[in-house]
Amino acid sequence: MHAAAGGPAGASTAPGGGRRGIPFVMTGASGVGKDTIRREAVPALGDLFYSVSATTRGQRPGEEHGVQYYFLTPQRFESMLRDDGLLEWADYVGDYYGTPRAPVEAALAAGRDVLLELELAGARQLKRALPEAVMIFIAPPSLAELERRLRGRGTDDEAKIQKRLARAREEIRAVREFDYVVVNDELGRAVHEFQAVVRAERVRATRLRDEDVRAFLRES
């Protein structure tokens, strides 16, 4: 992943000539608070399509099929994979997670910005598939704090907690591959920083289309 997002002027133009949406990828350890940041940050950001992932992991209390995830059997997941129906996928702590391709491609083509929550392997695949993606890492203040939050959530047994912490350690070591890092030590500040990233990326000069520049130059 490269530090700069966006291509040359015109690169974000959709085939029909309209603006193409921007893919925003959020990566960070399970338990770091990505969902909370998203819930708090997104309402003030206007149109931002959230990509609901497919997973084979068990449903947690309060989770609904089609809202947090599409909960699939391994057979169904594998058949989507075979049909090229996933934009990226990964095996995370013994379960599959993947991004259904069609909704994301349709949203981007329609000019809608898209938010994806992916672990590291999937984030890297996504960046290869969509090089214009903006990569945002959500970091815990420390691994000790992350461990405390994972235990507090009470959704995983000890073995899963240890595996999730090991993955978190690996992901944190890769933090410099990302464009931005938001530390979730104080929720209000983390939300504000996440919003600042989205807003700044939306007004990058590199995303201007030729017709935008022509419009600025219009004199009568």
* Binding interface with ligand 5GP (CB under 6 A): 30, 53, 57, 88, 90, 92, 97-99, 117-119, 122
Report the residue number, 116 or 198, with the smaller CB distance to ligand 5GP: 116
CB of 186: closest distance to ligand 5GP in angstroms?
Answer: 21
Report the residue number, 97 or 193, with the smaller CB distance to ligand 5GP: 97
Q: What angle do CA 133, 210, 44 make, to 5 degrees?
A: 45
Report the residue number, 13 or 30, with the smaller CB distance to ligand 5GP: 30
The identity of residue 171, as a single letter, is E
CB of 45: closest distance to ligand 5GP in angstroms?
Answer: 19
Contact assessment for residue 129 and residue 180, using Cβ atoms and an 8 Å cutoff: no
CB of 76: closest distance to ligand 5GP in angstroms?
Answer: 14
d(CA 181, CA 92): 22
CB of 64: closest distance to ligand 5GP in angstroms?
Answer: 13
Report the residue number, 156 or 212, with the smaller CB distance to ligand 5GP: 156
Whose tokens are 């057979």? That residue is 75
122 Cβ contact list (under 8 Å, min separation 6): 88, 89, 90, 97, 98, 99
Number of H helices, E strands in the chain: 8, 9
Orientation of helix 187-202 relative to helix 34-41, angle to 10°: 60
CB of 156: closest distance to ligand 5GP in angstroms?
Answer: 9
Residue nearest to ligand 5GP (CB): 122
Report the residue number, 126 or 191, with the smaller CB distance to ligand 5GP: 126
Which residues are paired to 182 by β-bridges?
138
